[in-house]
Chain A
Amino acid sequence: MAARKQSLYRPRGLIDVLDLPLIGRLLKARRGRLVLQIPLLLIAALLLIDGFTGPQSAARNLATITPWVHYRGLVVLVLLLAGNLFCMGCPFMLPRTLAKRLSLRGRRFPRALRNKWVAIAGLFFIFLLYEWLDLWASPWLTAWVIIGYFAASFVLEAVFTESAFCKYVCPLGTFNFVYSTASPTQISVKDPQICQSCVGKECVNGSYTPEPVIRVDQIAGGQTKEVRHGPEGTLGCGTLLFAPQIKSNLECTLCLDCVRACPHDNIGLMVRSPGRELLQPEAWPQRWDVSFLVILLVAMGLTNAFGMVPPVYALQQWLADTFGLNSELLILLIIFALTGVLLPVSITLLAGTLSRRLTRTGHKYSLRATIAAFAPAFVPVGLGIWIAHYTFHLLIGFWTIVPVFQEFLGLQGDWVRFNAAPNMDLISAVQLVGLIGGLLWSLMIAQRAAMRLYRRDAVPGLLPWALTLIGVVLLAVWIFGLPMEMRGSTLFS
């Protein structure tokens, strides 16, 4: 039993990234996170300056090129290949840290909001705003979104004790949380026995105190260990994860504060098989909010891509003509609510119900438990859709950042040299690998879930979910096969 628990919490292999020369030392250093945060903060400053003062042409402004082309494209690839490095280097955390030091630290985030519903709503509205306000076309508005992020993270961290912004609100972080579950790295402890005898639980409580404190702990084997806390110490885990119990990346920002705070040097960033937790039912909570977060992100991925192809304009016009609507926001709200929420929720509930009805053991599991068992299967297919979409933009416009930056610096933008024709074969190959690879991975996870739940009835139990996943990918292939057409708010102009 103990061995099974150990394998649940600790990734197999136990290669610790933090043991690597240079990289490990750098990341573990007290201010190691700044190595990523400062460059990203400077980039954020560049975006703000260019967004507010530069040319208001999306193609020629860092504020639009960097987040909408490079950030999005790189983040999905990094999540798949390495881990949640963008949360690790998040520049919005810098004012957050200041706010945390200034805060009274007396209040937790409201209990009713300690779930993923706010994050789901945040993702929904940011994708809606993206289409309605044409954020992709406006450096000025994109700069305001960045300011809004800094302000929101500062305020929430100043008011609440835990990292409420990261854990419950931030749409970017929520996206990263979900797809970091497919990543090949995870925070884990080296020896669980040490954690059992740990007195201070610094990984979650932190080692920061305004005045220096020295504590002598009894540790395993009757030995003692001197533990120092003080102003140079580290805040504990912002999202209140207890390192020895971490089974999933779902709420881990990879801040490594737990690593720095641990007085026993017992926490590492372990390499694991990619998406290991997706096959472990105990690793994910059986909660509606978590299940729907994963599933709705797939739907939002399709809706986001659908917003770039001609049928969406025909649909908008049809809604306007048929129902006499003259508000683009209202029309987009209807489309997003239907395709991004109502339809996927209905299909999920239907698949869950069918899965239970078609199997003899299905009644043993509630609808919530059934959907929670299959929800992890939507991670790879969702990631595949986002990769297909975002790497398209990244590969099309990768080098355009060079002339844009040259112009920012007052130089002549070398658009000829850095505007090479995109290699459409490569783009198509990446998209196909993303979609087909995601589908196969998802089907494998769903098949494992069906085997676990229904055993000899696994095939009928799997069928509704397999059809849903295949349907999702067919829809994605259809959308990505359509000609791209980017329009602003011209419907009623």
Chain B
Amino acid sequence: MKTAILSALLVILALTGCRQQTQEAASANLQIDLRVEPEEPVTGDATLIVTVTDSAGNPVIATKVSARGDMNHAGMTPVIKDAEPSDGGEYSIPFEWTMAGDWTVEITVELADGTKVSQTFEESVASGPGKDSMNMDMGDMDMTAEATEAMDMGESSN
């Protein structure tokens, strides 16, 4: 019995080394900047403007740029979106803040050589007028449609 438990623990420990890792932007000599519109985030539609530059400040062309927004509370559904194509180093991602609170946005940039680089940003989102999305929920049932729409996700990128 003890051997079985120890073996299981060893297997688990070994598996932790298998996690897929994306490279940090700084270590890849890239700069990823994020601008959010509207500038003061409120629940509802938003646009994420991602700028990717190299160490000299020159724009970098990425094959794919995606954003993943997670609430800071475990178990909340993430919002995952891809950027529209761009060739100027600036990428626009249509996004939606599905609820108010603290968010972590991870921007992942995929380069032509297959390298994936990511950077995370913290955003604090306030309740928007008429866009209270995630009631706890004995309130407005109409949020179902909003939440469903918000979860119209692209493919996870990392």
Q: Do A and B bind each other?
A: yes
Instruction: List residues of A whose CB falls within 8 A of some B CB.
Output: 31, 34, 38, 41-42, 45-46, 49-50, 53-54, 57-61, 64-65, 68-69, 134, 136-137, 305, 308-310, 388-389, 392-394, 396-397, 400, 403, 407-416, 419-425, 427-428, 431-432, 477, 479-488, 490
Which residues of B sit under 8 angstroms from A58, Cβ to Cβ?
A: 70-74
Q: Is B153 in contact with A416, judged by CB distance below 8 angstroms?
A: yes
Q: Is A428 in contact with B124, judged by CB distance below 8 angstroms?
A: no
Which residues of B sit under 8 angstroms from A68, Cβ to Cβ?
A: 73-75
A-B contact count (CB 8 A): 179
Which residues of A sit under 8 angstroms from B155, Cβ to Cβ?
A: 416
Q: In the complex, A468 Cα to B139 Cα: how many Å? A: 23
Asked if B55 is at the interface (CB within 8 A of a chain A CB), the reply is: no
Instruction: List residues of B whose CB falls within 8 A of some A CB.
Output: 1, 5, 8-9, 12-13, 15-20, 43, 70-78, 80, 99-102, 104, 106, 120, 124, 127, 132-139, 141, 143-144, 147-148, 151, 153, 155-156
Contact of A309 among B102, B104, B124, B136 (CB under 8 A): B136
Which residues of B sit under 8 angstroms from A389, Cβ to Cβ?
A: 136
Q: Is A424 in contact with B74, judged by CB distance below 8 angstroms?
A: no
Known A-B contacts A60-B70, A409-B18; the reply to A481 vs B138 at CB < 8 A is: yes
Q: Is A393 in contact with B75, judged by CB distance below 8 angstroms?
A: yes
Q: Is A413 in contact with B156, judged by CB distance below 8 angstroms?
A: yes
Contact of B8 among A42, A419, A432 (CB under 8 A): A42
Q: Is A410 in contact with B20, judged by CB distance below 8 angstroms?
A: yes
Q: In the complex, A309 Cα to B132 Cα: how many Å? A: 11
Q: Is B74 in contact with A483, judged by CB distance below 8 angstroms?
A: no
Which residues of A sit under 8 angstroms from B137, Cβ to Cβ?
A: 392, 424, 427-428, 431, 480-481, 484
Which residues of A sit under 8 angstroms from B5, Cβ to Cβ?
A: 38, 41-42
Chain A minimum-CB-distance residue to B4: A38
Chain B minimum-CB-distance residue to A427: B137
Give the dominant DSSP class at A's interface.
helix
- In order of increasing CB-CB distance, the 10 nearest A-B pairs are A397-B75, A410-B18, A69-B75, A483-B132, A64-B74, A59-B70, A486-B101, A137-B72, A481-B139, A485-B100
Shortest Cβ gap from B98 to chain A (Å): 10
Q: Is A415 in contact with B127, judged by CB distance below 8 angstroms?
A: no
Contact of B74 among A69, A415, A416 (CB under 8 A): A69
Known A-B contacts A428-B141, A488-B72; the reply to A409 vs B15 at CB < 8 A is: yes
Known A-B contacts A49-B12, A483-B127; the reply to A488 vs B102 at CB < 8 A is: yes
Known A-B contacts A54-B19, A59-B71; the reply to A419 vs B135 at CB < 8 A is: no
Q: Is A483 in contact with B99, judged by CB distance below 8 angstroms?
A: yes
Pairs across A and B, CB under 8 Å, 7 listed: A42-B9, A69-B74, A309-B136, A412-B20, A480-B136, A483-B136, A487-B102
Q: Is A486 in contact with B143, judged by CB distance below 8 angstroms?
A: no
Q: In the complex, A481 Cα to B71 Cα: how many Å? A: 20
Chain B minimum-CB-distance residue to A398: B75
Which residues of B sit under 8 angstroms from A419, Cβ to Cβ?
A: 77-78, 151, 153
Shortest Cβ gap from B4 to chain A (Å): 8
Shortest Cβ gap from B106 to chain A (Å): 8
Which residues of A sit under 8 angstroms from B156, Cβ to Cβ?
A: 403, 412-416
Contact of A310 among B1, B17, B76, B127 (CB under 8 A): B127
Shortest Cβ gap from B55 to chain A (Å): 26
